Amino acid sequence: MLLYATAAIVLLPLGGFFALLVGGRRLGNPRAGWLGTGSVALSFVATAIVFGALYARPPSHRLFVQTLFSWLPVGGLHVSVAFRADPLSLVMALFVTGVSSVIHLYSIGYMEHDEQFHKFFVYFNLFVFSMLVLVLSENFVLTFLGWEGVGACSYWLIAFWFVRDSAASAGKKAFVYNRIGDFGFVVAMFFLFNATGTLTYTGVFSAARAGHIAGTTATAACLLLFMGAVGKSAQIPLYPWLLDAMEGPTPVSALIHAATMVTAGVYLMTRISPLLALSPVSSTIVAVFGVVTAFAAAAAACAQQDIKKVLAFSTVSQLGYMFFAVGSHAYTAAIFLMVTHAFYKALLFLGAGSVIHGLHDEQDLKKMGGLARYMPITAVTFFVAWFAIAGVAPFSGFWSKGDVLTTAFPQGHIMWALGEFTVALTAYYIGREFYLCFYGEERWRRLAALATASPGHGIGIEGAGEGYEPHESRPVMTVPLIALAVASFFGGFINLPIRPDWDFLSHWLAPVVGPYSYHFPLGLSWAVGLPVMDGAVALIGVAVVTALWWRRWDRPALEPMFLQRGWHLDDLYDFLVGRPGYRAAGFAADRFDPLVIDGGVNGSAGLIRRAATRVRTVQTGYVRNYALGIAIGAVAIMAWVLSRVGV
Amino acid sequence: MTGPLAALLSQAGTPSLPQLVLPHAPYSPAMPEILLAGGAIVVLALASLVGTRVSTYFWAACSVAGSLAAMGWTWVVLWPQVMAHGGYTTLSGSISVDGFSLLFFTLVEASVALGSLVAAAWLDREGMAGPEFYILAMLSGSGAMFMAAANDLIVVFLGLEILSIPLYILAGLNSRRSESGEAAMKYFILGAFSSAIFVYGVALTYGATGTTNLAHIAAFLASNVVTTDGLLLAGLALLFVGFSFKVAAVPFHTWTPDVYQGAPSPATGFMAAVAKAGGFAAFLRVFFSTFSTLRADWQPAIWLLAVLTLVVGAVLAVVQTDIKRMMAYSSISHAGFVLVGLYAATATGIAGSLYYLFTYALMIIGTFAVITVIGGRGDGNHHIESYRGLARRRPALALSLAVLLMAQAGVPFTTGFLGKLYVIGAVIQQHRYALGFIAMVSAVVAAFFYLRVVVVMYTPRVPAGAGRLQLAVSSVPFGRGGRRGAVPTDGGGRNGAEARVPAGTLAAVGAGGPPVGPPAPGGEAAPLAREGSQGAAGGGPGGRPGPDEERAPRVPLAVALVLVVTVAFTVGFGFFPALVVNFAHHASLVF
């Protein structure tokens, strides 16, 4: 039973992908969408079954590896297509399939007017499949396959509206940034294979436990894998691609660039916790990168005008928190934050999508305002998401982010303080977005009245025409909002630190990450005081943003240019890499390619042709010549062999 | 079995005659060969009874049934024995049943079945009824199986002849084309020549060791130090030449292009698969199990042979414009890769070579199935230009051919890629970097001419006059013959001196005199050996769109079946290679 169910988790979305690939166009809109949603929902059911079966086992036996077939038997390297069901991978699979199901459902509504409706679900199902391969794989190679698979799907989906130049180049940008990280992943695999002779998780980790991996090797492997994670999870210095990725359809941003794919890096770092345990210095580096990213991205989020860019920076910031947790050996906290973040960030994105959908594809916050009247469900659920991400008790973010900060506190007060300050920033920037969007003056009304040159055409509120009124979205979109709002509120209850038997997630993950986690029993005063402080800081952030932005929508002093430009990181890359790259490419195309490459290729081709023309004259068609050739060959071989006589 | 027969004989005979003693012979180990050879005889007998009233598909079905029965016996009866008790020799130590022979049994049985299906489609199209093809294919297959299982040089020789003689006839089966007869004649003469060399090698080996049994030779060499080993080494060299001829290794390859081009397309595919397999099977067994103590003497020769074969095969294939001739050089280049695995002479290398042969057999039969279809009525439409725009007319056919050709080029996720990977990996493991490098470069060169066909298939015909440049780059290599595609009047004579040989030259072989006919550049005499000249004479003239070409060719069900099997095998085991790899690995354990 468990056998089939584990394979079914992965194979159902794959089946959906193939079915949609072959018959998607024929199924049409919306049946293709329902097929995609159904396959992912069934996969969720299968995951739940495996989860239940694993739960029924005693904690030490909660590991189940299923090898489907041997994939690459090359020399000493044996890579199998094998899936690993353990507490960590199942938590990941459960939330990946769960969130994906909801977002699939939402997409049926969101993409209803799109001509490439079925194609969207083809990519979406392939993405879910790749993501599940990534998290359920039993070896690094298969994880890498999923890793590349989600990267490819992300590329296709960011550039889904590829007729827009910005979307096409954003897709390319994401692809290139991810390649930088993938390089690290591949080299890390070389290191690990060289050190242990295997690439299965079981093999590498038992080698790590037995002390067969040297500290320097572990550090190198961890840092290279972290390089991969930095690319995939959009951390400093590789985060700019995630901002541009907002060019994709909003459900894509919600599923791939907020809830699931970008968390792959965090998952990977959690998965290699036995290696990180061997290398304290890499853990520290991970933590520093994480907390600095959390702060920098949160600060940049405070100044954004685009409704989705705020959320993108917010995602980068929250992922920073997760890496902060991983670097502090608080793996349970990292996964806990990942799960709750998936709920509220998906909710925020879908809420934003609902607004965008209702406002004729308008994304500029400064052109919104007062929408709470027209879109009550969206507004209320957005409010829930705001409090959840801000960490107001008892919303889910309070518990998960508190967990991170409490574990990090004894390990470094400065990093902890930066993290605590970012809590306030988080409450501030989402609050600003909430007020700009749902309260204040109805700025869209003026703009719609201003620009009636081409009513009903174009993208954005100016193209909507006079008398345009925003509308609440259809149930197929609001039901997922409500579901995610409920999850965002109650999500924290899976790991309550109040009583020892209430922290379910810690117990559940203990067999995987327990031995490598940081345990430092805090005194009661600290254990209560720190969470209270988190909650208070969050409330301060809420209070400040309410005071500043409830009525006003324009405060240039609070939106400095360097924050709007995301710390000028893009400009820096343009200066350091982009322009020299163009010059180098120009040189390669104009000078190097025609002379050296073409010269070499054509030269060798000409050589082969001349040689062939010379040699083919042997092929006369006369049998006597052929026989002579055979005889000469025979004599030559005979001469060689006889020269060995007596040797 | 012996009881009733002996009783019958004793009843019939007079008491004065001595009792006839039948030797006890276990038939089971040789049953696959017996099924094929016996099947051929049954078909022959049936044919003489029913004449030509029966559809060719009936005979094809008989052949497929025979080979499937043999395959069933191989897998159901012999395989469990080998798995349980290991390999063994039988029939007075002349036949060995082990993983190695079973791999070749499977290969040959599959080739006979698939080859028969392709042949059925061809015979049906040509309106040629009759079971000859199937009888010959089954006999030839049984010969290849004897070669693979042989544990005695005499049996190897018998297998070689049983394999070869039907192939000579198969090459000449198309009596309507003079090239076919010419190919058969050339193949026969050169084959007889090399057989003679081989037999001489057997004789010298016998003289040196006192036995022809492979195991006994090995035991003799292991227990005796031969101080004057000239006789033995001379025998070894001659055996080497005999095998090299059969597998078409340079410089013993010269027959290949002419025979591949002249033989009927289904026969060519069958020949490429089975003759190469049989030749290599015996080559491997004789040299690696029997003469392994003399490795230092013959290994350098294999190195040279492998390099020559890789380079000449790939380079000469590049300038071909007839697809069958191109595939002939391609098969030479593939033999080079198998030799690379043999040169490594390790378990990995031999497993790689076996894997290569096994997968190559299926690829080449599938490829020639497509070539048979495109050949059109008369089987003469083989210019590369005939494939132009095939993807538009027959997308599935074009895709199948593209997959099979790319597999031969060694594109990943096909069996062809893994074959090349294993053999090159094996020599690299042995630190023979030069050979590995040459093999890789040769694979790159080879990729060019495979992909050229793919490009042509997926490039539609351009209007006359407009597409000069495109034709020059895609259909004909390196532009020299680029005008060919567009200007059909440009004769074949320009391109190489050998184009002057007329068909009648066969008569001049023995005498060694000058060609009988006068040189006729690109003329009506239609010589077979025309490197780089245009399409074969029977079909449409090269370059000009023939009448068949514009129509979508009909794909018979039998060919479709063959393509499904071969493409599924090539791609399926390219993705999931473990099964075939383990099979090949198991087969290499006998050494």
Question: pLDDT class for B122, splitting at 50, 70, 90?
Answer: very high
Which of A609, A621, A630 lies at the smallest CB-CB distance from B258? A621
Q: What is the pLDDT of residue A558?
A: 78
Average pLDDT, chain A: 85
Q: What is the pLDDT of residue B550?
A: 57
The 3-class secondary structure across A237-298, one letter per residue, is CCCHHHHHHHHCCHHHHHHHHHHCHHHHHHHHHHHCHHHHCCCHHHHHHHHHHHHHHHHHHH
Residue A464 pLDDT > 80, yes or no?
A: no
Closest Cα in chain A, distance from residue B382 (Å): 19
pLDDT per position as a tens digit, B47-76: 888 877 788 899 999 999 999 999 999 999
Is A624 in contact with B512 (Cβ distance < 8 A)? yes
Chosen for mutation from A618, A622, A628 (greatest number of chain B CBs closer than 10 Å) is: A622
B473–A contact, CB cutoff 8 A: no
In this prediction, what percent of chain A has a pLDDT beyond 90? 20
Contacts of A70 in chain B (CB under 8 A): 578
Nearest chain A residue to B248 by CA distance is A630
Average pLDDT, chain B: 82
Q: What is the pLDDT of residue B547?
A: 45
Tokens of B398: 């074009």
A67 in helix, strand or coil? strand
Q: Which residue, among B116, B117, B128, has the nearest Cα to B175 in the 3D structure?
A: B128
Q: How far apart are CA B544 and CA B123, in angstroms?
A: 26
**End-to-end alpha carbon distance in chain B:** 36
Which of B193, B296, B301 lies at the smallest CB-CB distance from A637? B301
B403–A contact, CB cutoff 8 A: no
Is B508 in contact with A624 (Cβ distance < 8 A)? yes
For residue B334, how far is the Cα from the chain centroid?
11
* B contact residues 502-531, partner A, Cβ 8 Å cutoff: 505-506, 508-510, 512, 515, 527-531
Residue B14 pLDDT > 60, yes or no?
A: no
pLDDT per position as a tens digit, A540-556: 998 888 888 887 777 77
Contacts of B229 in chain A (CB under 8 A): 645-646
* B contact residues 239-278, partner A, Cβ 8 Å cutoff: 240-241, 244-245, 251-252, 254-255, 257-258
Which of B298, B315, B477 lies at the smallest CB-CB distance from A611? B315
Neighbours of A533 (CB within 10 A): 17
Q: How far apart are CA A361 and CA B187, in angstroms?
A: 75
Q: How far apart are CA B186 and CA B141, in angstroms?
A: 21
Q: How far apart are CA A592 and CA B546, in angstroms?
A: 44
Closest Cα in chain B, distance from residue A22 (Å): 16
A with B: how many residue pairs have Cβ under 8 Å apart? 141
| Ranges of H-type helices in B51-98 | 56-72, 79-85
Question: What are the counts of helices (DSSP H) followed by strands (DSSP E) for chain B?
Answer: 25, 2
Question: pLDDT class for A612, splitting at 50, 70, 90?
Answer: confident
Contacts of A612 in chain B (CB under 8 A): 315-316, 318-319
pLDDT per position as a tens digit, B216-267: 999 988 888 766 678 889 999 999 999 999 999 988 999 999 999 999 999 9
Q: What is the pLDDT of residue B19?
A: 77
Burial-class residue A276 by CB neighbours within 10 Å (0-12, 13-18, 19+).
buried
Is A73 in contact with B577 (Cβ distance < 8 A)? yes
Residues 6+ apart with CB under 8 A from B499: B492, B493, B521, B522, B527, B530, B531, B532, B533
B433–A contact, CB cutoff 8 A: no
Is A633 in contact with B252 (Cβ distance < 8 A)? yes
Q: How far apart are CA B26 and CA A67, in angstroms?
A: 42
Residue A571 pLDDT > 60, yes or no?
A: yes
Is A634 in contact with B238 (Cβ distance < 8 A)? yes
Residue A33 pLDDT > 70, yes or no?
A: yes
Q: Which residues of A touch B (CB under 8 A)?
A: 69-71, 73-75, 605-606, 608-609, 611-613, 615-627, 629-630, 632-634, 637-638, 640-642, 644-647
Question: pLDDT class for B8, splitting at 50, 70, 90?
Answer: low
Q: How far apart are CA A508 and CA A45, in angstroms?
A: 19
Q: Which residue, among A504, A493, A486, A395, has the nearest Cα to A51 in the 3D structure?
A: A504
Distances (CA, A) of A537 to A391, A530, B488: 9, 11, 86
Contact A27, A54 (CB under 8 A): no
Chosen for mutation from B429, B478, B495, B586 (greatest number of chain A CBs closer than 10 Å) is: B478
Is A622 in contact with B194 (Cβ distance < 8 A)? no
Q: Which range has the worst mean pLDDT, A185-199, A503-517, B193-207?
A: A503-517
pTM for the whole thing? 0.66
Q: What is the pLDDT of residue B524?
A: 36
Q: Which residue has the tokens 């290949």?
A: B256
Which of A619, A623, A646 lies at the smallest CB-CB distance from B189? A623
Contact B363, B407 (CB under 8 A): yes
Tokens of A574: 């343009």
Most confidently modeled of A75-79, B97-101, B343-347? B97-101
Chosen for mutation from A619, A624, A647 (greatest number of chain B CBs closer than 10 Å) is: A619
Residues 6+ apart with CB under 8 A from A382: A347, A348, A351, A434, A437, A438
Residue A455 pLDDT > 70, yes or no?
A: no
Which of A71, A616, A645 lies at the smallest CB-CB distance from B229? A645
Q: Which range has the worst mean pLDDT, A246-255, A348-357, B96-105, B506-515?
A: B506-515
* B contact residues 308-327, partner A, Cβ 8 Å cutoff: 312, 315-316, 318-319
Is B505 in contact with A608 (Cβ distance < 8 A)? no
Q: What is the pLDDT of residue B425?
A: 92
Q: Is the pLDDT higher at B304 or at B483?
A: B304
Q: Which residue, among B405, B374, B328, B418, has the nearest Cα to B566 in the 3D structure?
A: B405
pLDDT per position as a tens digit, B321-335: 899 999 999 999 999
Is A617 in contact with B496 (Cβ distance < 8 A)? yes
Residue B520 pLDDT > 50, yes or no?
A: no
Q: What is the pLDDT of residue A393?
A: 79
Closest Cα in chain B, distance from residue A451 (Å): 50
Question: pLDDT class for B515, splitting at 50, 70, 90?
Answer: very low
Which of A74, A626, A637 lies at the smallest CB-CB distance from B190? A626
Q: What is the pLDDT of residue B16?
A: 66
Closest Cα in chain A, distance from residue B327 (Å): 15
Contacts of A609 in chain B (CB under 8 A): 318-319, 477-478, 480
Question: pLDDT class for B492, splitting at 50, 70, 90?
Answer: very low
Most confidently modeled of A114-118, A412-416, B307-311, B531-535? B307-311
Residue A176 pLDDT > 70, yes or no?
A: yes
Instruction: Give the pLDDT mean for A412-416.
Output: 86
Contacts of A623 in chain B (CB under 8 A): 185-186, 189-190, 505-506, 509
Q: How far apart are CA B247 and CA A382, in angstroms?
A: 74
Which of B244, B298, B498 lies at the smallest CB-CB distance from A621? B498
Q: What is the pLDDT of residue A497?
A: 74
Which of A617, A623, A637 lies at the smallest CB-CB distance from B241? A637
B302–A contact, CB cutoff 8 A: no
Which of B252, B529, B530 lies at the smallest CB-CB distance from A630? B252
Distances (CA, A) of A473 to A146, A436, A481: 34, 19, 10
Contacts of A627 in chain B (CB under 8 A): 189-190, 193, 509
Chosen for mutation from B204, B239, B241 (greatest number of chain A CBs closer than 10 Å) is: B241
Q: Is the pLDDT higher at B88 or at A1?
A: B88
Instruction: Give the pLDDT mean for B431-442.
Output: 93
For residue A448, how far is the Cα from the chain centroid?
36
Contact A431, A541 (CB under 8 A): yes
Which of A608, A622, A647 lies at the smallest CB-CB distance from B445? A608
ipTM of the complex: 0.77
Q: What is the pLDDT of residue B227?
A: 64
Q: Is the pLDDT higher at B485 or at A481?
A: A481
Which of B227, B233, B498 lies at the smallest CB-CB distance from A616? B498
Question: In this structure, what are the phi and psi dihedrals at residue A80, rounded to the nearest 5 degrees?
Answer: -110, 155
Q: Which residue, among A347, A316, A337, has the nearest Cα to A234 in the 3D structure?
A: A316
Contacts of A645 in chain B (CB under 8 A): 228-230, 233
